[in-house]
């Protein structure tokens, strides 16, 4: 059995955007690369309501010798339980949770605090959010309904004033009543979610997680449906095929659709490492029921 070495942070090792290169430069890199093969990791996010599936395909170099593996600060994957928005794997995991669990008619809410209700620190802010969710679930229980699903992030305006973004169950929940239940600011903002036809909630979840001056952590209910473990393959895309794909965006889309029958190619980004002459492809595809 062939031994493969690819437990490294490939996005850190392969950072340069390939669209900056001329075609002859891409061709030179594709011919020079010394990976033994390319590994493909496939992750699917099936939306529970619509049945649509957003697929992510990551194609990255694998090596025959451990000494050839690029040195990076950390290994390939971090635990999603870290919930650290500074970690790209955790951020992507959060976006997948949103795509799977929330859909049309659910709620995206942003709540703040008036001066008279301002929490003293992040712990107090989290307590306010938890109490708010507990009040919602109390009403859900009285109505014979299950607890809501949610993901929330506490962010800050400037450096001091907090606000909270919440993605949550919305069916059967009145927005006016919800805003009244929060009761800590004069301008609560609740909206019904309208998923994108192609990318589901990816854009909204990315916006919500963009929190450069915030707590850099997200919190979620335990009743969320989790993404299935990714599948991995060493044969889906050969070195020769990757060489053709990185040189031509049209070819890349066609090969992705061949590799994933029933899925429609949406977009992709290609990165490269000039020193190693190797490529990384991140593509997204959609399947409708």
Domains located in the chain, CATH noted: 10-76+230-287 (no CATH), 105-193 (3.30.70.1910)
**Lowest mean pLDDT, pick from 29-43, 101-115, 198-212:** 29-43
Confidence at residue 81, expressed as pLDDT on a 0 to 100 scale: 59
Per DSSP bridges, beta strands 278-287 and 53-62 are antiparallel
Does position 101 have pLDDT exceeding 60, yes or no?
yes
Confidence at residue 83, expressed as pLDDT on a 0 to 100 scale: 66
Confidence at residue 36, expressed as pLDDT on a 0 to 100 scale: 73
Mean pLDDT over residues 42-58, rounded?
Answer: 97
Q: Count CB-CB contacts under 10 A for residue 261.
A: 7
Confidence at residue 213, expressed as pLDDT on a 0 to 100 scale: 58
String of DSSP letters for 210-237: --TTS-SBEEE-TTSPPPPPPEEESSSS
Mean pLDDT over residues 64-74, rounded?
Answer: 73
76 confidence band (pLDDT: 50, 70, 90): low
SS3 153: strand
pTM: 0.90
Does position 21 have pLDDT exceeding 80, yes or no?
no
């Amino acid at each position: 059995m062939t031994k493969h070495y690819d437990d490294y942070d490939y996005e850190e090792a392969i950072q340069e955007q390939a669209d900056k290169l001329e075609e002859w430069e891409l061709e030179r890199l594709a011919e020079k690369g010394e990976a033994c093969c390319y590994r493909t990791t496939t992750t699917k996010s099936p939306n529970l309501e619509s049945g649509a599936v957003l697929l992510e395909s990551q194609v990255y170099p694998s090596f025959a010798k451990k000494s050839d593996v690029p040195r990076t600060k950390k290994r390939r994957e971090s635990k999603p339980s870290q919930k650290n928005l500074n970690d790209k794997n955790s951020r992507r995991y959060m976006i997948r949770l949103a795509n799977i669990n929330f859909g049309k008619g659910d709620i995206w809410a942003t709540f703040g605090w008036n001066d008279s209700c301002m929490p003293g620190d992040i712990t107090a802010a989290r307590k306010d959010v938890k109490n708010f969710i507990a009040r919602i679930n109390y009403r859900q229980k009285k109505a014979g309904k299950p607890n809501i699903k949610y993901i929330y992030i506490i962010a800050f305006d400037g450096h001091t004033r907090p606000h909270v973004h919440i993605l949550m169950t919305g069916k059967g929940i009145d927005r006016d009543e919800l805003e009244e239940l929060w009761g800590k600011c004069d301008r609560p903002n609740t909206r019904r979610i309208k998923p994108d036809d192609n990318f589901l909630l990816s854009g909204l979840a990315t916006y919500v997680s963009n929190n450069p001056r915030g707590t850099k952590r997200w919190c979620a209910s335990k009743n969320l449906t989790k993404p299935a473990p990714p599948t991995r393959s060493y044969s889906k895309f050969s070195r020769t095929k990757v060489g053709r794909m990185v040189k031509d965006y049209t070819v890349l889309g066609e090969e992705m659709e061949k590799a994933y029958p029933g899925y429609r190619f949406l977009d992709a980004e290609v990165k490269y490492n000039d020193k190693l002459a190797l490529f990384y492809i991140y593509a997204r595809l959609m399947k409708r029921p």
